[in-house]
Amino acid sequence: MILGKILTEIMRVLDPPTIVSKDKAVSVSELTKQIKSVIEGEFTHLWVSGELSNVVHHRSGHMYFTMKDESAEIRSVMFRGFSQYLPFIPEDGMSVLAFGALSVYEPRGQYQLMVKQMEAAGVGSLFLALEALKRKLSEEGLFDESLKKPIPPFPKTVGVITSSTGAAVRDILNILERRVPHVSVCLRPALVQGNEAADDLISALKQMKNESDAEIIIIGRGGGSLEDLWAFNEEKLARAISECEIPVISAVGHETDFTIADFVADLRAPTPSAAAELAAVPLTEIVGTLRNYGDKLTNQMGTILNNAWQKLDHVIDRTGVQEPSQKISRYIDQLTGYAEKLKRSMDIKMTLNQTQATAMHETLVALSPRGVLDRGYSLAYTYPDRSLIRRAKDVKAGDSFVLETGDGQFEAEKTKDIPKK
């Protein structure tokens, strides 16, 4: 409808004789200027609905993108002066309403939509389909880390599935050749875009498994729009990657591109070049790592041996590891020393005991009856049975008794009682 109106306006503006007359042929520049005048004069204020694709947020603040529907697409731009006020960040797959004017870029003869205002109108159909499939496969557990197979660090053969004509295959092969020239590469060209791409990629996976010695498979392509990458969002390809017995590295698009294949693969590389770097450790790095391990092992063994020698020297110093005769002599000296210490201790103990015994003997002697008598006291006994006389009434006047002193005893007779003073 828009193109028809444009052509009508062009035909009205241009003079018919000018078009059909060779003598009055217009130049490309003049024709483009007239077309520009018609388009920019007619379509100055219009709302356009469509789905965003190929969105690029330039560092200058300008935004470049494509608006499309199921039948057509139009290049569009939104300059910083307008994009900075957007309440959302436009992304691929979003459905929007854009207000602006048509403009013609004369050097290329291309027209584009100069957007001044944009409103989100929902999410595009492809984006909705992608999110729905992502939820479905996630709920089934196809994204679980427990299902990821480890990537062998030293493969002998690396399988590559990608387009044979794109930049991706050149980057992968160049990096593998430079980093791991000893590793074989098995290339299986495949379609990476279009309705038949997913089936061809699945066929390539099966062929790589059955007809090659690949220990790792890199599957991917270069960057593109959501539509260009859609083969890698197909459910059947996702299940084929998940079921593949060989570890798979996905390498689809640029670092900001994410596909279903990235989530089900055993490892996701941000770019095809990065996938080649992740697929195999370079020989120089292997040699360097082995040398580092060798140096560390040598240093550790040296440390262990030095510690062992120090411990041995310490044991020798403490235990005196010597000739048997020297060891026996040392033990004899120790025993002699112990005997002398024991004798000294016993002498001191005997002297102390003897002193204590003498003091106790003197005390006992002083407290004995004999000792009392030696100090001037005397004992009286009945005669002849020699019973100790304790009271004066025990002896009657005229009775004989024996009186014992410190130096002897003699017989005495009681004549009378003497009152106690």
**Long-range CB contacts (< 8 A, 24+ apart) of 125-133?**
125/51, 126/51, 126/93, 126/226, 126/227, 126/230, 127/92, 127/93, 127/94, 127/226, 128/93, 129/233, 130/93, 130/226, 130/233, 130/260, 133/233, 133/235, 133/238, 133/260
Higher per-residue confidence, 306 vs 115: 115
Domain end position, chosen among 253, 281, 309: 281
Same domain, 118 and 143: no
Q: Report the CATH number that the domain containing residue 47 is assigned in CATH.
A: 2.40.50.140
pLDDT tens-digit readout, 374-388: 777 788 888 777 788
H or E stretch covering 374:
helix 369-374
In a domain, 265, yes or no: yes
- Using DSSP bridges, classify how beta strands 94-105 and 248-252 pair: parallel, antiparallel or unpaired: unpaired
Backbone phi, then psi, for 77, in 5-degree steps?
-145, 145
pLDDT tens-digit readout, 178-227: 888 889 999 999 999 999 999 999 999 999 999 999 999 999 999 888 88
pLDDT tens-digit readout, 117-158: 998 776 566 777 788 899 999 999 999 999 999 999 889 999
pLDDT at 30: 85
Backbone phi, then psi, for 244, in 5-degree steps?
-65, 130
Same domain, 117 and 137: no
In a domain, 331, yes or no: no
Q: Say whether the peptide bond before residue 90 is cis (omega within 30 degrees of 0).
A: no
Q: Is the pLDDT of residue 390 over 70?
A: yes
Q: To the nearest 5 percent, what fractions of the chain are helix, strand and coil?
A: 45, 20, 30
In a domain, 214, yes or no: yes
Owner of token pair 């388009």: 39
Q: Is the pLDDT of residue 269 over 90?
A: yes
Taking the C-alpha atoms of residue 59 and residue 257, their distance in angstroms, rounded to an integer, is 18
Q: Determine the residue type at 302.
A: G
Q: Tell me if the pTM is above 0.85.
A: no
Q: How confident is the model at residue 171 (pLDDT cuts 50, 70, 90)?
A: very high
In a domain, 316, yes or no: no
In a domain, 22, yes or no: yes
Give the chain's length: 421
Domain end position, chosen among 236, 257, 281: 281
Per-range mean pLDDT, top range of 163-167, 324-328, 343-347: 163-167
Same domain, 112 and 135: no
Same domain, 95 and 184: no
Query: How far, rounded to the nearest angstrom, does the alpha carbon of residue 76 sit from its chain's CA centroid?
Result: 45
Greatest CA separation found in the chain? Answer: 201
Query: Is 388 in a helix, a strand, or coil?
Result: strand
Same domain, 231 and 141: yes
Q: How confident is the model at residue 413 (pLDDT cuts 50, 70, 90)?
A: confident
**Average pLDDT of the chain, as a whole number:** 84
Same domain, 16 and 133: no
Higher per-residue confidence, 172 vs 366: 172
Q: How confident is the model at residue 404 (pLDDT cuts 50, 70, 90)?
A: confident
In a domain, 380, yes or no: yes
Same domain, 178 and 220: yes
Q: Is the pLDDT of residue 4 over 60?
A: no
Q: In the numeric block, which tokens belong to residue 419?
A: 């009152």
Least confident of 166-175, 248-257, 296-305, 354-363: 354-363
384: containing domain? 372-413
Report how many domains make up the chain. 3
pLDDT tens-digit readout, 217-266: 999 999 888 888 999 999 999 999 999 999 999 999 888 888 999 999 99
In a domain, 144, yes or no: yes
In a domain, 305, yes or no: no
Q: Report the CATH number that the domain containing residue 260 is assigned in CATH.
A: 3.40.50.261
Q: Is the pLDDT of residue 268 over 80?
A: yes
Same domain, 157 and 273: yes
Same domain, 37 and 148: no
DSSP characters for 140-194?
Answer: HTTT-GGGPPPPPSS-SEEEEEE-SSSHHHHHHHHHHHHH-TTSEEEEEE---SS
Q: What would the mean pLDDT of 150-174 be, rounded to a whole number?
A: 93
Higher per-residue confidence, 284 vs 108: 108
Same domain, 15 and 85: yes
Q: In the numeric block, which tokens belong to residue 298?
A: 């040598």
pLDDT at 124: 66
- Cα(first)–Cα(last) distance of the chain, in Å? 166
Same domain, 137 and 266: yes
Domain end position, chosen among 281, 316, 345: 281
Taking the C-alpha atoms of residue 225 and residue 91, their distance in angstroms, rounded to an integer, is 11
Taking the C-alpha atoms of residue 219 and residue 158, their distance in angstroms, rounded to an integer, is 11
pLDDT at 406: 75
pLDDT at 235: 94
Same domain, 274 and 143: yes
Q: How confident is the model at residue 408 (pLDDT cuts 50, 70, 90)?
A: confident
